[in-house]
Amino acid sequence: MSPVPAAALLAALAAVALITDRGWVVAAIAIGLLLLCLRAPRGRRRMYLVGTLGSALSVFLLSPLVSQVGTHVIWDGPKIPVVGYLDVTSEEIAAAGIQALRLAAVGLAFAAYALLLDLDRLLQAAGFARRSVLAAGLATRLVPTLERDAAGFTEALRGRGLEVDGLRGRARLLSPLVAGSLERALNLAEAMEARGFGRVGRTRAPSAPWTRLDRLALVAAVLLVLGAIWL
Amino acid sequence: MALAEVEHLTFAYPEAEQPALSDVSLSLEPGEIVAMLGPSGSGKSTFLRALAGLVPHFHGGRFEGRVVVAGMDTRRFRPADLAGAVAMLFQDPENQVVFGRVANEVAFGLENVGTPPDQIWPRAHAALADVGAARLAERRTETLSAGELQRICLAAVLALEPKLLVLDEPTSQLDPEGAAEILDVACELGAAVLVSEQRPALPLERCSRVLFVDEGRITVDATREDALTRLADEYLPREPKSLGDVPGLGEIVCRVEDVTFAYDSRPVLESRSLTLRRGEIVALTGPNGVGKTTLAKVAAGLLEPQSGRAEREGRCCYLSQDPGRYLIKERVEDEAALAVGGDVRRARRALAEVGLTGFEHRHPRDLSSGERERLALASVLVADPDVLILDEPTRGVDPPRKAELAAQLRRDAGRRATLVVTHDLVFAGDVADRVVPLTAKEHIHA
């Protein structure tokens, strides 16, 4: 499938997950997207899945403790200054479940976009705002680049007999990672300018024409969003 | 008419006290193949950037004199305007890749310079075929090895069919055969080629003219034959010394037995073995992608083999290929002291051994690439390990510094076992007691 209709379909699924009130629909979208993400190579998908599912789990566990909704109390906890009573109701759990599923669906839609779509072809398809789309594409690639850099720093430290353990150990990599990214960005900007980026009169490499499946996917994306709003 | 004219070029980077280039003048003729040699930090890269217009447009600084390339004065034309007439290949391929798919990466420059759309894909694929990378066209760039990536970057500049091809250490990540192939392709393009290299033999075999740059000035500008009589010995091509594979007599401090290792499902090592003894320096050589680095990491304990075993006696230190991984602390001496629990006195001694006295309080990121390489080396040498594993320690290192490094490793060889992973066979011959050549799908018992 071409990347533009595929991206539209993913965006539509994320939008439906945010719009609809039906929990089973959100769950189905999240499960479908999770299965889709599992098609990506294990090494690349790990960070996206851990980040997304970890965040969703956090929302599910924490939000019942801080919200004050419902009358069917399941657990009555102590009163905490500022936060209030730490009670948990069945309504809060239901609401937390759907919010966590929404977050998972949106996060997994982004993960599928980053892991499975050909971002280059998406960029080529951008007839306008090419610079912005290029910046977005480079930003998307920043995640695996940072991951590789972090692994490189860790390996260099281990090569000196120093283990990088725990939050504090990883936190000390933050500053060199940011500095390294800035340095790489400068080098990349220089290389891009040397290859004519920003010159007037650029052309575009021809891209493959859309197939029937591409058109169907785009129609499905529109129908999904309209359906979610209508129903 | 000359393709490029440089007249009295003097250039200093912003806030630099000394100019990087001082009163440089020369002209380049169409189709000329020119080798540019000189020590690290002598101004070679700055000069190449001046020809591409990146100096002064991208870097800023004080610029005097005139550079005209293909009729365009670089003071008036920006680098993007010069692209197509001049194409520049940078040293580190990872820092110049824009796209995720190989074919798109090669097409990027063609799109920028306004190539007619119907010519873009044919030219991109032809350039990939020229560098022997046609099969990589649909691969993701992040899945390529450094050597493969370097070929893709060369294809990206060759596709532009430039009049002047400027190559800044284009083969630093490649094995000798791969490096020779790359330079042959570049030299057969028909464009003028100006190539800066730290393995001088390769460009000297192909060039008609040699420039030697030292402290921002061109001190030799001569025909190849003339230059060979004027260059210092370190820069002259020579055959690597032949090495045997007889193990030393010292105690075994690192033993790797029948190890197997695969990245995801791609096997890299199959039943490899290696033994290192105290007092010996072993060179691990072989073509790109054969698993040298993986074997070195297994030996260092950084990778756990999937089968077989790897054992070490005493402390083992591993120097990564990338000196950019040794830039964690804010000061050079603190970086060097990391491996010894912050012992600054030992760190200063190690820095002195690699010639970085006076740099102790500098920020590591303010160092040049050659200085960063020395800092990385000091950062592992400081621990005085029993097993020292150096992965491509001469990448981007100038010949005099290579000679110093070889002498330093030889001087301390008795204290430890040293494994040097290298493509540089001349350096391997100079430094090592024996060589372990790693070849594809073959059992090596050394």
For B442, the 3-state DSSP assignment is coil
What distance in Å separates the CA atoms of residue B360 and residue B367, rounded to the nearest whole number?
11
What distance in Å separates the CA atoms of residue A211 and residue B286, rounded to the nearest whole number?
46
Q: How far off is chain A from B372, nearest CA to CA, in Å?
A: 14
How many other CB atoms sit within 10 Å of the CB of residue B240?
A: 17
Token duo for residue B102: 């190989």
Domain with CATH 3.40.50.300 in chain B: 4-235, 252-437
The CATH number, out of the four listed (3.30.420.80, 3.40.50.300, 2.30.110.10, 3.30.70.20), of the domain defined by the range B252-437: 3.40.50.300
Spell out which residues of chain A touch residue B346, defining contact as CB-CB under 8 Å. none
> Long-range contacts of range A110-113, CB-CB < 8 Å, 24 or more positions apart?
A110/A10, A110/A14, A110/A48, A110/A52, A111/A33, A111/A37, A111/A40, A111/A45, A111/A48, A111/A49, A111/A52, A112/A10, A112/A33, A112/A36, A112/A37, A113/A7, A113/A10, A113/A140
In contact, B421 and B349? CB cutoff 8 Å:
no
| Candidates A144, A153, A202; nearest CB to B142 | A144
Q: Tell me whether A79 touches chain B (CB under 8 Å).
A: no
Q: Tell me whether B158 touches chain A (CB under 8 Å).
A: no
Q: Tell me whether B62 touches chain A (CB under 8 Å).
A: no
Closest residue, chain B, to A43 (C-alpha) = B264
What distance in Å separates the CA atoms of residue A1 and residue B442, rounded to the nearest whole number?
42
Question: If you search the block for the tokens 């090596």, which residue do you land on?
Answer: B444
Going from the C-alpha of B155 to that of each of A49, A103, A208, B88, B428, the distances in angstroms are 35, 43, 23, 11, 30
Token duo for residue B68: 């005209």
Q: What are phi and psi of B212, to 5 degrees?
A: -120, 125
pTM above 0.90, yes or no: no
Q: What is the DSSP letter of B242?
A: P
| Candidates B112, B124, B383; nearest CB to A195 | B112
Structural domain spans, chain A: 3-116+131-196+212-230
Q: What is the pLDDT of residue B443?
A: 42
Concatenated DSSP letters for B364-391?
GGGS-HHHHHHHHHHHHHTT--SEEEEE
Domain at B4-235: CATH code: 3.40.50.300
Closest residue, chain B, to A144 (C-alpha) = B142
In a structure prediction context, what are the per-residue pLDDT tens digits for chain A, which is 231 residues long?
A: 788 899 999 999 999 999 998 999 999 999 999 999 999 888 778 889 999 999 999 999 998 888 888 888 888 888 887 777 778 899 999 999 999 999 999 999 999 988 888 777 777 666 666 777 777 777 767 777 888 889 999 999 999 999 888 888 888 899 999 999 888 889 999 999 999 998 999 898 888 888 999 999 999 999 999 998 887
Q: Tell me whether B346 touches chain A (CB under 8 Å).
A: no
Q: What is the pLDDT of residue B304?
A: 94
> Mean of the per-residue pLDDT values for chain B?
91
For residues B421-425, give the mean pLDDT.
92
Q: Do B142 and A189 touch (CB under 8 A)?
A: no
Closest residue, chain A, to B120 (C-alpha) = A205
Spell out which residues of chain A touch residue B383, defining contact as CB-CB under 8 Å. 160-161
| Candidates A120, A134, A206; nearest CB to B117 | A206
Closest residue, chain A, to B378 (C-alpha) = A160
Residues 6+ apart with CB under 8 A from A126: A133
User: What is the pairing mode between strands B33-37 and B209-214?
Assistant: parallel
**Type and span of the H or E element at B332:** helix B332-337
Name the pLDDT band for B280 (thresholds 50, 70, 90): very high
Q: Do A162 and B124 touch (CB under 8 A)?
A: no
Token duo for residue A86: 């730490």
Q: What is the pLDDT of residue A127?
A: 63
In contact, B425 and B241? CB cutoff 8 Å:
no
Closest residue, chain A, to B95 (C-alpha) = A188
Q: What is the pLDDT of residue A58?
A: 95
In contact, B385 and B317? CB cutoff 8 Å:
yes
